[in-house]
Amino acid sequence: MVEIKLHDIGEGMTEAEVTHFLVKPGDKVAVDQPVVEVSTDKMTAEIPAPQQGVVKELLVEEGKTISIGTTVVVLETSGEAERETAATVELEKEPVKAEAPLVQSFEVTAPDRRVKAAPYTRKVARELDVDIEEVEGTGVRGRITVEDVKRYAEPVPESPDEVEEQMEATTENLETIPFRGRRKQIANKMTQSLFTIPHCTHFEEIDVTELLNIKQELKQEELSISATAFFVKAVSVALQEFPVFNARLDEENETIRLIKEHHIGIATDTAQGLIVPVLKNVEEKSLQTIHEEMKALTQKAVENRLKREEMTGSTFTISNVGPLGGSIGATPIINYPEVGLMAFHKTKRRPMVVNEDEIAIRSMMNISMVFDHRVTDGGTAVSFTNRVQTLIERPYLLFVDLK
């Protein structure tokens, strides 16, 4: 027998939810064939079979949260299956008397259809109580999309009376959303952060007019660099001068470890929830490189294709909610165990006093700097924020620090 166990699929992961079994007892599986889908706060992953064999038993119920090392599936290897078959044949060698000729019957079972669908699509199907094998895929090479599942689940009224009955449904039929998987894992991590870290938030207003002008000039030269790339670079330059915000608090050993590498987490809103891909070694990269790598990472996050190493190891996180029509300000939750997070909010054009007594239309943006008050104080946070502000308001200074 071979036991398939939950292994570590992410940094710091101690548990995961069993969201869906991809096999059932009696199924034959090949080496590396996915047998179960699990979810953590950062990712959804499939655990493969390490050997060829037959599924003997499923030991965990779907929807249950288990810890690392828990056995999920018991697999009977081909050798064991052959020995069991041989023993059965030996028993059947004993002659059997019968009044009429024996007719041996065979039940032919069609092999399971390997459904082409992403883990998130399967999750939506389960939540909508849809048998995904009955859904016709309209994606590339017949791949089933979320829209296919929702379209299949949508009831088609057969008569005007049925439509009327649906409209007269009472409020007792409340809609519910499952609180499990990634949503539950995110909740657990946010709770851990809030209950562990004494959060303090500093707000500042930044004039991004010059940055947007440079961005437009680069675009005319066919060089597309997002505003977020400028923000990431500005934060990295400021972290070189204020390393206490790129650190880890080790309470057990009573030390604050300053980290030299700047691995910046990019908070990304996706259909699966909040995901934070990590841009590694920002301190060594140019604006163009930052822009290209960040664009690739966020796209993979939206498509739920991030690898483990692309979601772990962040030392500081930024959140740019401006493009979403974000608010004037917010008090984000620190990405534990980091000690700082900076959020960039909506940009608005409005009249501002410049050159002491002149009024001009400028593009203004608010930012929120959240920090761990155990590690540093408000004065240092203000100085750090002021440095980021200077670099963004005078973006040509960033070109001095290009690698």
Strands 316-320 and 264-266 turn out to be parallel
Across 59-127, where does the E strand assignment appear? 65-67, 71-77
Report yes or no: 123 and 150 within 8 Å, Cβ to Cβ.
no
Report yes or no: 336 and 196 within 8 Å, Cβ to Cβ.
yes
Give the pair of three-digit tokens for residue 277: 């891909």
Residue 27 CB partners (closer than 8 Å, separation 6+): 54, 55, 112
**Helices vs. strands in the chain: H and E counts, helices first:** 9, 18
Residue 324 CB partners (closer than 8 Å, separation 6+): 269
Across 251-337, where does the E strand assignment appear? 255-258, 264-266, 268-270, 273-275, 278-279, 316-320
Give the pair of three-digit tokens for residue 314: 């962040």
Give the pair of three-digit tokens for residue 179: 């609180």
Closest CA to 227 of 208, 199, 244, 245: 208
Q: What is the rounded CA–CA span in Å between residue 319 and residue 281?
A: 18
Give the pair of three-digit tokens for residue 324: 């979403």
Give the pair of three-digit tokens for residue 54: 């037959």
Give the pair of three-digit tokens for residue 176: 């519910």
Report yes or no: 10 and 43 within 8 Å, Cβ to Cβ.
yes
Report yes or no: 205 and 365 within 8 Å, Cβ to Cβ.
yes
Could you tell me how far CA 273 lies from the centroid of its own chain?
A: 7
Indicate which residues carry an active-site annotation.
373
Q: Which amino acid is at 237?
A: V
Q: What is the rounded CA–CA span in Å between residue 315 and residue 261?
A: 8
- Using DSSP's 3-state secondary structure scheme, residue 277 falls into coil
